[in-house]
Amino acid sequence: MSRGELSTSLPAYQPVNHDFLAINVKVMYLVGQWNGYWQDKRNWRYSAYLGYAVFMILVMTVHFISEVLELYVSWGDFTNFASTAWFANNYGATIIKQVFILAQADRIQSVTQRLRGGVLSSGLRWSKEQDEIARNTNRKTRFLSIAYYAIAVSSCTGLIVISLRTSYRQLSGAANLTEVGADTMELPLRAWFPVDMQNPQNFLLLFGFQLFIVAAGPMINIGTDTFITGLIIHACGEFRVLKKSLRNLKQRARQLLQEDTGCRKTTSNCKISLSSVAVPESTNHTDNHFKRAKFCPEATEPAHENGFLNAKADVDSKVHKALVECVRHHQQLLLFVSDLEDMFSSMMFFQFLSISLRICLIIFHITMSDDEGLVQLTYLQILCVSFLQGLPFCWYGSDLTYQSECVARAMYETPWLEGPLKFRRSLTIIVTRAQAPLRLTGGKIYVMSLETFQAMIYASFSFFKLLQQLSVS
């Protein structure tokens, strides 16, 4: 690497700060999972929002208890029992997520701010290509979140419409008592309450309560899922940024050299302007010295040689500085992924434990019920939600492992053959650590990978066959 190779001027690029995970944070804020006043705990708004978060947990707990009681009442009716068990399982997982998020709220928000504030890759987004990687990563997170929310909204709307369709005639007083089932009013979600639900006033109160549950429950559940998945996706994106940095160390060194040259020129101009204020009278000996240097080749040759050595040392130092930035970025990434594992591993254990059961229950309900039309379509959408509760974690968990392994391969695209000994020693820091791939787990038992998701699907169909045999017998 010569100085001439790196001295080409580059346009200065300032990375753009993006509002990463904006949709996810807003949804979590609405349902009491994102306290925006966490840095000022003396503020009354912090305490008020904390009370709101506890209130949301209590509301979900009341609904969960009502569904558990309904399971006891409907024992023996396998079809309705399966659908009620799915919702009870789902809302039980929602409460667990609420408790985990509330218990680690400060740490979760601190880690998120490190990502959104650029601390994670400070100084490493120095090109438009790297910034575009960050943009594409955020677009991917937003698309996944919107698609997940769209399916959830559609299925929740279906549940509400089904309830209104079966209850409207009774509420409007137009029911014909001779029709079988015409006098039965049904809530969107099966639940048991110690009141007469066929009373219109009681039904309307409980219907309003469940409207809130149907809206808030998926927002909590899906909001948490997409938020955690978004953090994993951004971790994968940061590894792509790191690989881009390693492959373009010369370009980064060129920028650092240009910045250093600009600083030197600024300092030199400042010195010249200061020296022009007062010029010494006796400068003849200095002029004579430069005249001798100009006409004596033996006086200039050492200067050229020293200048070449200084230039090479300067270039090597800039390349090494660019590599040190990559080493620090890699260390920050390892810390970020370690924080994700510590914060969410226990919660993901319960998530993975219940996914197989949810898929099994909803498939059993779809195959055993005689429902058609809107009811069947709604439960098919709920089946899609069941798959989405596990697939993104496993998909991007596998991608995170792959991206972390690719860092070691990216080392061979660096100028390691041309670099000095100090450069090669720094390079071994990343190579050594990249040999151990990163893995996110559920309770240190389940690894978030596509193989794990495949095993969960197999387990779901095994449970489904077992339920079928029990229902027939």
What are the DSSP calls for 140-169, one per residue? Answer: HHHHHHHHHHHHHHHHHHHHHHHHHHHHHH
Is residue 65 a contact partner of residue 255, using CB atoms and an 8 Å limit?
A: no
Mean pLDDT of 371-398: 90
pLDDT in tens, 32-63: 999 988 888 888 999 999 999 999 999 999 99
- The confidence score (pLDDT) of residue 78 equals 80
- Confidence class for position 173, pLDDT limits 50, 70, 90: low
Separation of alpha carbons 402 and 438, rounded Å: 8
- The confidence score (pLDDT) of residue 248 equals 83
Q: Which of 205, 444, 219 is nearest to 346 (CA)?
A: 444
- The confidence score (pLDDT) of residue 97 equals 95
Across 198-269, the runs of DSSP E, i.e. the strands, are: none
- The confidence score (pLDDT) of residue 301 equals 47
Helices (H) and strands (E) in the chain, counts: 14, 2
Residue 276 has pLDDT above 50, yes or no: no
Q: Is the pTM of this model over 0.85?
A: no
Q: Domain extents for the chain?
A: 21-161+206-255+309-472
Separation of alpha carbons 65 and 120, rounded Å: 42
Separation of alpha carbons 464 and 95, rounded Å: 26
Kind plus residue range of the DSSP H or E element containing 447: strand 446-447
CA 287 to chain centroid, in Å, comes to 66
Is residue 358 a contact partner of residue 257, using CB atoms and an 8 Å limit?
A: no
Expressed in percent and rounded to 5, the helix, strand and coil fractions of the chain are 75, 0, 25
- The confidence score (pLDDT) of residue 271 equals 47
Alpha-helical runs (H) found in 74-104: 78-103
Is residue 400 a contact partner of residue 230, using CB atoms and an 8 Å limit?
A: no
Residue 103 has pLDDT above 90, yes or no: yes
Is residue 340 a contact partner of residue 234, using CB atoms and an 8 Å limit?
A: no
DSSP state of 442: E
Residue 85 has pLDDT above 70, yes or no: yes
Separation of alpha carbons 30 and 27, rounded Å: 5
- The confidence score (pLDDT) of residue 284 equals 47
First to last CA, the chain: 79
Output phi, psi for 442, to 5 deg. -110, 100
Separation of alpha carbons 459 and 441, rounded Å: 18
- The confidence score (pLDDT) of residue 251 equals 81
pLDDT in tens, 406-456: 888 888 887 777 777 777 887 888 888 888 889 999 988 889 999 999 999
Q: Which residue in the block uniquely carries the two structure tokens 């969410």?
A: 344
pLDDT in tens, 312-347: 566 677 878 888 888 888 888 999 999 999 999 999
121 or 227, higher pLDDT: 227
- The confidence score (pLDDT) of residue 74 equals 83
Kind plus residue range of the DSSP H or E element containing 376: helix 374-388
The overall average pLDDT reported for the chain is 81
Separation of alpha carbons 129 and 237, rounded Å: 12
403 or 259, higher pLDDT: 403
Q: Which residue in the block uniquely carries the two structure tokens 């779809």?
A: 366
- Cα angle value 239/241/244 (rounded, 5°): 110
Is residue 360 a contact partner of residue 461, using CB atoms and an 8 Å limit?
A: yes
Mean pLDDT of 155-164: 91
DSSP state of 441: E
DSSP state of 75: T
Contacts of 227 (CB under 8 A, 6+ apart): 21, 24, 25, 28
State the amino acid at position 393 in one-letter form. F
- Confidence class for position 118, pLDDT limits 50, 70, 90: low
- The confidence score (pLDDT) of residue 4 equals 46
Tokens of 55: 């209130």
pLDDT in tens, 277-299: 444 444 444 444 434 434 344 44
Q: Which residue in the block uniquely carries the two structure tokens 């009774």?
A: 170
Q: Which residue in the block uniquely carries the two structure tokens 């408790």?
A: 99
226-261 b/e with 16+ CB inside 10 Å = b? bbbbbbbbbbbbbbbbbbbbbebbbbbbbbbbbeee
Secondary structure class of 369 (helix, strand, coil): coil
Tokens of 24: 């996810």
Give the number of other Cβ atoms within 10 Å of residue 323's Cβ.
26
